[in-house]
A = this chain, B = another copy of it.
Amino acid sequence: MIDMNRRGLVIAAGSAITASAVGLPAMAATAGRKLGYAIVGLGGYGLGIIIPQFKNCEHSKLVALVSGDPAKAKRVAAEYGVPESGIYDYKNFDSIKDNPEIDIVYVCLPVSMHAEYTIRAAQAGKHVMCEKPMAVSSKECEAMIAACKKAGKKLMIGYRCHFEAHNLEAIRLARSGAIGKLRYFRSEHGFTAGNPNAWRLKKAMSGGGSLMDIGIYALNAARYMTGEEPIAVYAKETTDRNDPRFKEVEDMIEFQLEFPSGVIGSCMSMYSANQNHILLMGDKGRIDLEPGTRYDGNKLWVGQDRSKQVDPPPGPGKTQWAAQLDHLSQCIVNNKEPIVAGEEGLRDIRIVEAIYRSAREQKRIVLA
């Protein structure tokens, strides 16, 4: 869950960093400068979404790129002012340890590569931001956490919605009692998967289908919106295995989450249609977000229906990504744990594993 108080402190500390940093050795090296990120993977997300965000950051900058495509890396480096010395490939990746400009490695690779590059980054003495889902198994997540801990480095998972204004306002409203006692949570997330050869449709690279890729938004939202951890799950999967896209991974999965307070969560993810919705139902009203977790254009309503739209106050950064990137930088400077540390990713993956098991065995799975 999001710890709003902790977030509040982190953000507040961030804005007062120069003053508060005085005299602390861990900060001495970083205070007053932007922390340097190396982006690993110049795919759609790393190149298309993350790299253009550094211009919106206050505490983070782009200093290195890791890519298997030298021409692409050179072009991107030139466009974003990354020096040639900041260009790496997957063979010489470990030599990042010798580049003091790199504080943080952001792993934007297919899921199956998250563990390896997170662990190698930690071993190279770098902090790590790893894209979600954290890894293809909870075992890998545990190894990633252990490696970062052993290296004394921070590990944060790229849960951008924890920094998104509509989601933060929805959490605030829910906690404030605006809809009474929360009883029910629902979320559908989906998009139309296209190319059957995309890595996300190859189980060895993705770890799973829509649940891993887009359903993780519904699952994570169920946890941060309720502020609770589920105690049991039940799931049903429906996939047309004759569809060339779904030879290896699931299309649609519907999963129910039981929370300790009695709140029931009902979530669905799919690869066969666009859907992006979050609903919180209390005994005095409801909070609706649709779309709820998009890059932009999210909408929020509170009340008995959708007649009262809420314009949330600005989020903690210029954009959700800038806030996310700067959060890790600030956590490093202030030696705080990120609000979405590796353990947050691990929790989701453990639940994902239980959901898959429930769907396979057609029974309720109690979470440990």
- Which chain B residue has the least Cβ–Cβ distance from A254? B264
- Which residues of chain B are within 8 angstroms of A290 by Cβ–Cβ distance? 305
Instruction: Indicate if the CB atoms of A263 and B283 lie closer than 8 Å.
Output: no
Measured CA separation A184–B284 after assembly (Å): 28
- Residues 154-181 of A at the B interface (beta carbon under 8 Å): 180
Instruction: Indicate if the CB atoms of B364 and A273 lie closer than 8 Å.
Output: no
- Which chain B residue has the least Cβ–Cβ distance from A290? B305
- Which residues of chain B are within 8 angstroms of A263 by Cβ–Cβ distance? 238
CB distance from A28 to the nearest CB of B (A): 52
Copies of this chain present: 2
Instruction: Indicate if the CB atoms of A266 and B264 lie closer than 8 Å.
Output: no
Instruction: Indicate if the CB atoms of B285 and A281 lie closer than 8 Å.
Output: no
Given A183-B252, A272-B183, is A264 in contact with B283 using a C-beta cutoff of 8 Å?
Answer: no
Instruction: Indicate if the CB atoms of A252 and B363 lie closer than 8 Å.
Output: no
A275, CB-defined interface residue at 8 Å? yes
- Residues 250-268 of A at the B interface (beta carbon under 8 Å): 252, 254, 256, 258, 262-264, 266, 268
Instruction: Indicate if the CB atoms of B238 and A270 lie closer than 8 Å.
Output: no
Measured CA separation A258–B304 after assembly (Å): 30
Given A238-B262, A258-B236, is A281 in contact with B184 using a C-beta cutoff of 8 Å?
Answer: no
- Residues 222-264 of A at the B interface (beta carbon under 8 Å): 234, 236, 238-240, 252, 254, 256, 258, 262-264
A18, CB-defined interface residue at 8 Å? no
Instruction: Indicate if the CB atoms of B286 and A281 lie closer than 8 Å.
Output: no
A101-120 to B contact mask, C-beta < 8 Å, 1/0: 00000000000000000000
Instruction: Indicate if the CB atoms of A184 and B282 lie closer than 8 Å.
Output: no
- Which residues of chain B are within 8 angstroms of A305 by Cβ–Cβ distance? 290
- Which chain B residue has the least Cβ–Cβ distance from A279? B188
Partner of A362, one of B188, B266, B270, B364: B364
Instruction: Indicate if the CB atoms of B281 and A273 lie closer than 8 Å.
Output: yes
Partner of A262, one of B192, B240, B262: B240
Instruction: Indicate if the CB atoms of A238 and B183 lie closer than 8 Å.
Output: yes
Q: A: which residues have CB within 8 A of B? A: 180, 183-184, 186, 188, 192, 234, 236, 238-240, 252, 254, 256, 258, 262-264, 266, 268, 270, 272-275, 281-286, 290, 304-305, 362-364
Which 3 pairs show the lowest CB-CB distances between chains A and B? A238-B262, A272-B283, A254-B264
